[in-house]
Structures are given as C-alpha cells and as structure tokens.
Structure 1
Amino acid sequence: MAGVAGLTALGASLTACGSDTGSAATGASAAPVATGPGPGGYKIDLGGYQGPELTAKPVTLRFMRQSYSPEVNDFFTGLYAKFTAAYPNITIKEELVPYGDLPTKLKVYVASGDAPDVMMGRNDFTPAYAAGKIALPLTGYFTDTYLTDIYAPLREAASADGNLYCLPWDNNVEVLLFNRDLFAKAKVAPPPETTSIDGGWTIEQMIDAMRALTKNLKATDSSLWAMAASTAGNGGPGSNYTQHESFWIRMMGDPAAARDSDEYKTWAGVSDDGFSVTGYVDSAGAIQGMKNYQTFFSEDLTPKGAVPDQLTAGTAALSMDSFSMANLYESAGGKPKFGWGVSPMPKGRTLFGCNASDSPIVWAGSKNPNEAVALVAYLCNDANRIGFARMWGSVPARTSLITQMQEYQGEKQQLAVALAKASSGVPRTVGYFDYFNAMNPAVKNIALGADPAATLHTTAKQIDDLLAKYR
C-alpha cells in the first residue's frame, strides 16, 4: 500500500491512500459513531439516523446543492424552517449553483480547505470521495434497516471499503420518451411500450426509426427533429458522459462475457485494478458504440448543440431522458400538449442502465459532523423524500418509498422500478474525476465529426496517464 499525492481532474489537491487496486481505494477509516436514541427519538423525524443527539450550542451548517425550480427551492426552504424550529440553535445557510457547475464548485471548496458541511455530490465519484478523504463515512450514523432499504445497486455505487460515503438522493433511471403525435405524423412505428426491460428497440432499430422520422418530418417542417438534444449536464454532446454518452458505449458490451473479452471490457470501462482504460474505452465495441452515436449528428438526426426542452416543446419525436420527466408529464401541472409514451433504452449487445445519481456528501472536515449528517438524514426521511419525488418527479432511492407511493403501481412506473433494479454503476476507479472529464470532450469531438477510433485511442492513452498517479 502506497500513499499518493495527486491532483484530480477537478483540480483539487488530494492525498489518496490507495491499495493495490484502484477500484477499491482506501479512504479514512470510519471512526465509531456513538449511538443515540435512534429513529423516533429526536426532536424531529431524522429518518434512519441513529447518531448522537444534536448539540445545543450555536451551529451554522452550510449546504451547497443545485438550484431546482422555484417551487422546489421553496419546498427546501420550508423543510429548513421545520428543522431549525426543532433545533433553533442551528442555522442553515444554503448555496445554490447550476447543476453542471457542482463538480467545479466542490473542487474549489475542497482545495480551499473551507468546504460547506454538506455538498451535493454524485455516487459515481464515491471512490474519489473515499480515497481523497473528502467525504465522511456515513454507515455508522444510519440503522441497518435504513441502509438495506436503499436499492442495492445504488448502495454499492455509494460505498467504498464497506462504508457508505454519500447518501443516494434519488434513482437516475434513463428511458426513451417519445411524442406519439410526431411518430403518427411521420408514419413511423413508435418504440415498444412495455414493462419488460428487454422489450425495447435494438440500437439498429432506433437509428433506422430516427432516419425515417428525419426524412418524413423535415419534409414538411424543418424545425422538427427525430431526437431531442441532450439536456444532461449543461446540455449538448459531451456535457455528461456518465449519464448520457456512456450508454452508447457500454450497451455494446456484456458483463457476463469472459473478463478478457472485448465484450466484457466494453461494458466494464476500466481494468479490474482501476488504473487502465486502454482496451476498454477504445475496444472494438466502444468504437462501434461511438460510430452509432456519431450517426445521430452526421445525419442530422439530432442537433449538434444544446437546445433546451425540445420534447416538451413538441419539436422532437424522441428524447433520452430521466424517468423524472415521465412522472412530471403525468402530474396535473406537467401534462404535455401531445400524446406521449415511454420505452426502455435501446439494446446493443445488452441493455445498459447507469445508476449514477445525485448523492449528498458530508465534508470530512466539517466541524459539526453529527449535525451535518442529521440534516441530510432529515432531508431524506420518508415524508420529505416522497414530497420531493412527487414535486420533482424523481424515482426514489429506497424500496419502501416506492411501496408507499400509489403512483408507482402504473405500468410506466413499474418499468422504471425494474430498470432501477437492473442498473450498474460507473467504471470503478479512484480517478473517475479524470476519466469523466477526459471522456466529455472526446465524445463531443466525435459528435462533431472526429474519427471515433482515433479519438478513443488517444483518449484512452490520456486517461491511462492521468490514472498512473494513483498507483
């Protein structure tokens, strides 16, 4: 075991204590957490929290998160008011930032040594949070009942070395949403509506349908598109590899294939030790996946830049989107002006779903760790998570919440639950910050015409060089 001082691609100077496997990098040992009264024993419902009772001394907790709609932001303001009414000695100061800027803000704060007590992170960066000693281990603060209630794939993605380092906020489930009216207008058969995760299109069927949609829709209206521009991250190609473009690569792989096969490496995305991506992100399957992706742009099947809300505006027939949009479409105030449907993401060699999702972390340097964890636990209690899910449309991260929500008895919602159970985490490496930030410009360049094979080979070498510092 060797200590490594390294810079992540987020720019934060981190001291990573790594084992001989980068995929299982070791963070700070979790100090025993004193057990308090447990659920139901505090001044307010702290969900699954079982840590010490909160201090009576004056405390200010800083919380950095993304800005939602005004209504959702107001929802959080109301929750803080209830929390501080129960604990009037605690003041909550909130900082709202655009979603795509969260990693950069986290970088700045960690490098400064004066980070907010709670920061909205993502479970795909868990190994880095642990190895860099950025996040406080949370396992001891929560009951086993609460922890096992989190969907297993999400819990695994948010954990390292047996410790939970970020608390899953919701469940990122990507689906194909479609405008039935535009499919009818173009005289093209829409994707299958099914509760089976394997019942959707193949990638070849999807591309053929997009070609037919483009030809027939643009014949009468040049403003119409087969596929909406990505709204992941800050929008457009290359804005969020994890939650968007990685699908097109990893679906061309197979987790059940032999570990030395091209199929397995395409799905895995990184070597078992977490230090090499050559032969993984530039495998034959990955190259084919990016050729498929490039087709969307080279044949004008989707815009080459960021265009917001095309599906909702009625100017795109398809959208790769979070299932939260489907839930919003079914809400009283979110119904679109067209018929719509939901289908699983297309299959390549296999169906792929990535569970990378928002997960708040408690900064390891917080002077008030018990209070910071308790705030997160309060925000994640049953009532608050259900209230947020119904307002924002997100899929809850815990199975018991699903059973409490009658709306999840619908066929569309049952598909979302099945997809959540079958999801996978990101390629497991302590250097995923570097990986993610190298892949974003690579896929953008491919979208805009760069040779997929040459670009992926160059990017693989670049990522390998970046990961070498963690050995």
Structure 2
Amino acid sequence: MTGKTSERSESGVSRRAVLSGIAKAAALGVFAPAVIDSARAAAGKIDLGGYAGPTLTSEPVTLRFMRQDFTPDVNALLEKAYAEFKASFPNITVVEEKVPYGDLQKKMLVYVASNDAPDIMMGRTDFADAYHAGKMALPLQDYLSKAFVEDIPANLRSAASSGGSLYCSPWETSVMLLYFNRDMWAKAGLKTPPEVDTLEGGWTDEEFIAQLEDLNGKLKAAGDTKSWALAAAGQGNGGPGANYSQLESIWIRSQGDPTAPKSSSTYKTLAGISDDGRSVTGYIDTPEAIKGMRYYQSLFSKGLTPLGPVPNQFPGGLAATYFGGLNFTNRFRVPGMEPPFKWGVSPPPKGKIVFNGNGSDAPLVWAKSKHPAEAAALLAFLCNDTNRLAFHKAWGSMPSRTSLRKAMSEFATEQPFKLASALSDASYSVPRTPGYFDYFNAMNPAVKDIALGADPAKVLPDTAAKIDRLLVKYK
C-alpha cells in the first residue's frame, strides 16, 4: 500500500481504533502456472513451498523479520534456513529482530505507527480481523498457491482470514490437552482420566471436579501436603487470568452449542460475540457462561489448584493434572527429558461440547513492505515441508497444515497425537472482532477476579458492559 491511505477501512472500522486497541493489548488469488514456474526457476534448487508470486528481484534487498526468541536449537534451525535462502538469492539479506513473546504486539504497534515496520512480523490468528481492518498486512493468497492455502485446515484458515483474505500464515496450531500424572492417581488408588483419542469418552466438568476433589482428599489423608490436584496455569504469565484465549475460555465456551438456535443463549455462549463483532452483552454473561465460570471458580475455592503462578509444577511431579499443549507430549518423549513419573493424556472436561481454541502464532507480511514478493517468498520458504517438519520436531508444536500431519506417522498411530488432531479439527477461533485486543484485555482480569472469589454473576455482566464500551470505537 503506497501513497496517502484512508484512515477508515472498507469495513468502516477506523485504523486508528485498531491501533489503539493493539496499544492496550501490549500490556500482555493464485498466479498463473507460468509465473509460478519462473519464480521457482529463479530459485534454483531451493523449495519455496507454496510461493506462487512474481519472479523475485535481482536488486539488493534487505528483509526484516520480527519474531519471538525461541530455544537455541530452534533459533539455529531458522538461521540455517536463512543461509539456504541467501545461497539461492544472494541479493537478499535477512535481518532478524528477536523479542520476548509478550512484547510482539507492542513492538508491532510501535513499528506500524512509525511507518517503518519489519517486512515480516510474527502475529496471531486471534487478531486477523484487526490486521485487516487496520490495513496492517498483505493478503497472502495473492502470493501463495491455492493448494498451499487449502492445505491449512478450514477452521484454522478461517481464523487467519478476514473479509475473504488470508492475512497471516498459521505457523503452528494450538490444542489444549489434559495431562495427568499416572503415578499420583495410582498413589491415591483412583482410576486415571480416560485415555481416548476422540472427543467422546472424556470427563464432564462435574466429573472432572469431583475426581480432583476425591484425589485431593486421598493425597492429603496419606500425608501428601505438597501435591496439587491441578497444576497452576502456565500459559501467558501463569496463574489465573493469564490467557483467556487459549485456556480459560474453555470454561465458558464449552457450555455453548453450535447446533442450538442462533437466538438462544446456548448458541451465543459459544459464539462469544454478536455477528457484527461489536457487542458481547448476552454472549459472555449468559446463564451458561456463569455456570461455566462457577465450575472454574470451584477449582480455587476447593483448594484444587494454586491461586497464583507456580513454574514447572506438573513436569516437576507436584500436580496430578495440567492443561497443556502438544509440546509437552513431544518434550516428554525425548530421551533425557522424560518427567520423573509416568504420564497420560485425556480431553479437557466437557460442558455441552468439548471446546478448544485454535489460536496460532502466524507471521504476516507488512502491508507497506517495499519488497512484498520477496517477503512472501521468504515466509513461504520457511513454511515449506522440510523447514516446518524440522521446526515441529524441535519445538514440539502441532503442524498447521493437513499434509504435514499426514507426513508425521504419530498422528495416525499414537493416542496423544490422534486426540490432538481430533481436538484441532473441532476447534474454534476467538470471537471475531477487530477489537479482540480490547476483548481479551478485559476478560483476563475478570477471570482472575473470579478465581479469587468474585461472583461470576456480577463480574461477567460488568465485564460485558465494559467490552461493549470498548468496542464502540470500531463502529
């Protein structure tokens, strides 16, 4: 996008409002075959994955990429990939900026407002509507093949899209599994959570809490005063209210039902927001939502889980259960990194449905990049099969493309992976609004207040009214 831009997007949403929303959140077409062939011919032996854009320039180019700082082995994989890209395109230099994960949106805001942003920035599918409304990202389907785009599962592709365009490319996909310490359940003389590989057969909310109470009582009776029934949340900054999008929304949105009439409170509980993305009253404060948060609150009021963050509680063998991603499965399978106990995996507890969010880290190409084709080609190269499979093996997250899951035999043969795939296939995006920055920034402290004893029947309506006020600027 060049020249003077309009302050208001085609959807009528103020770009300034979108950037303002990001600031508050900081506290936390296919090209013709001939063109495809010429682009790949220019690349020599390099595999540009799904890139289907124009031939890359031979002029000197510097591409800037802002992302989170991974572990040393993952950082090394990316650095190796840049070297391979440079070998095929010696005129293109990649300059990285690695920042702490929690600072990514803040940095993005500063860069976009300065009109001098990196060509590629790590975003999230949660904010695809904001990227669109704020004219912050390029439509990636203009640079990627139809086959590559359609390889992203439909629900995840939808989460990364807005207004019919793909604005960020899912880097991985999120699932929330219920991990359990098999030894601790045996010590209490109780059956472990159900080890199923589909959405059927797991515990309900009532069963989950009752089982944790039983286990907690038996452990205490045996003199174990150090262990907890459920480990403290490790997402975000840890503890209650740290990550509504991926974790705590389970307790509300699982009480909803996608098959219920759209006018019903049951349907609205799952949707989380009105169709126009501008109101949450009657969606997050329904009787079903209040019920779900009472279940959540009981985990704390019954002393089943800590009231604050406790690092490494589950891997350290001090908790019987934990909500975590597939990376724990991959980590626990590595020789030398096994936990000091036998473990297993079960679905998260069921309300009316088994709910999982599909929020994913997802790089975007800045709308004002001076080198959009080169940036898209680099992103496509980093997302080719070889580089993605190496990343998932090292980092342990779940692939965001169907073909990659099929290439990893464990997704067809091993229970944790089969369950993760089933959960991912049935997962949902965050409530759709360009103001989701404001939405989750209001929900996180509300969840924490409920965990600490505030009445959900009072907190949720108050929070809904607050979010409605915050969303006014997106009209």
How far residue 384 of structure 1 moved from its aligned partner, in angstroms, is: 0.6
The CA distance in 2 between the partners of 1:3 and 1:345, in whole Å, is 36
CA drift at 1:301: 1.1
Cα RMSD of the aligned pairs, angstroms, is 2.0
1:453 aligns with 2:465: no
Pairing 1:189-268 to 2, within 5 Å after superposition: 189-219=191-221, 220-268=223-271
Q: Give the Cα–Cα distance (whole angstroms) in 1 for the partners of residues 190 and 196 of structure 2.
A: 18
Identity level (%): 54
Structure 1 residue aligned with 2:47: 45
Q: How many residues align?
A: 455
Structure 2 residue identity aligned to 1:445: D
The reply on whether 1:8 has 2:11 as its aligned counterpart is no
Deviation at 1:130, TM superposition (A): 0.5
Check conservation: 2:30, 2:141, Cα contact below 8 A.
Answer: no
Is the CA contact (8 Å cut-off) linking 1:172 and 1:355 kept in structure 2? yes
What is the CA deviation profile of residues 2-46 of structure 1, one whole-angstrom value per residue up to 9, with x for unaligned ones? 453425332289xxxxxxxxxxxxxxxx89899442785323211
Corresponding residue for residue 149 of structure 2: 147
Shift of 1:53: 2.2
Per-residue CA deviation, residues 43-62 of structure 1 (Å, 9 max, x unaligned), is: 32110101122222222211
Residues 335-350 of structure 1 mapped to structure 2, 5 A cutoff: 335-350=338-353
1-side partners of 2:24 and 2:293: how far apart? Answer: 30
Tell me the TM-score normalized by structure 2: 0.92
State the 1:348 CA deviation: 0.5
Is the Cα contact below 8 Å between 2:30 and 2:144 reproduced in 1? Answer: no
Alpha carbons 2:212, 2:229 under 8 Å: kept: yes
Question: Partner of 2:290 in structure 1?
Answer: 287
How much has 1:415 moved relative to structure 2? 1.4
Q: 1:469 aligns with which of 467, 470, 473?
A: 473
The correspondence for 2:317, drawn from 295, 304, 314, is: 314
Distance in 1 between residues matched to 2:30 and 2:198, nearest whole Å = 44
Q: C-alpha distance in 1, partners of 2:30/2:87?
A: 30
Deviating more after overlay: 103-112 vs 310-319: 103-112
CA contact (8 A) 1:38 1:50 kept: no
Q: Please, which of 377, 381, 384 is the counterpart of residue 381 of structure 1?
A: 384
Could you list the per-position Cα deviations for residues 246-300 of structure 1 after superposition, in whole angstroms to 9, with x for gaps in the alignment? 1111001111111111111111100111110001011111111111111111222
Counterpart secondary structure, 2:341: coil
Deviation at 1:155, TM superposition (A): 0.5
* 1:427 partner amino acid: P
Shift of 1:129: 0.5
Q: Quick one: structure 1 residues 263 and 37, their matched pair in 2 at CA, closer, same or farther if it must change by over 3 Å?
A: same
2:142, 2:391 → 1: CA distance? 26
Q: Could you tell me how far apart the structure 1 residues matched to 2:53 and 2:408 are?
A: 28
The TM-score, its normalising length taken from structure 1, stands at 0.92
Q: 1:100 to 1:216 in 2, by over 3 A?
A: farther
Aligned counterparts, 1:57-456, within 5 A: 57-219=59-221, 220-408=223-411, 409-456=413-460
3-state secondary structure, aligned to 1:310 = coil
Structure 1 alignment gaps of length 5 or more: 14-29
Cα pair distance change 1:38/1:188, threshold 3 Å: farther
Q: Which amino acid aligns with 1:446?
A: I
- For structure 2, list consecutive stretches of 5 or more residues without a partner in the other structure: 1-10
Q: Deviation at 1:439?
A: 0.7
**CA distance in 2 between partners of 1:340 and 1:108 (Å):** 43
SS in 1 for 2:21: coil
Once residues 39 and 214 of structure 2 are traced to their aligned partners in structure 1, the CA distance between those partners, rounded to angstroms, is 56
Cα pair 1:250 1:352 within 8 Å, conserved? yes
Distance 1:128 1:35, change over 3 A: farther
Separation in 2, partners of 1:371, 1:442: 43
Q: Are 1:47 and 1:381, in contact at CA under 8 Å, matched by a contact in 2? A: yes
Q: Which deviates more from structure 2 when the two are superposed, residues 324-333 or residues 238-247?
A: 324-333
Instruction: Using the TM superposition, give the Cα deviation of residue 213 of structure 1 relative to its aligned residue in structure 2, in angstroms.
Output: 2.3
Q: 1:352 to 1:12 in 2, by over 3 A?
A: closer
Question: Which 4+ residue blocks in structure 1 deviate beyond 6 angstroms?
Answer: 30-34
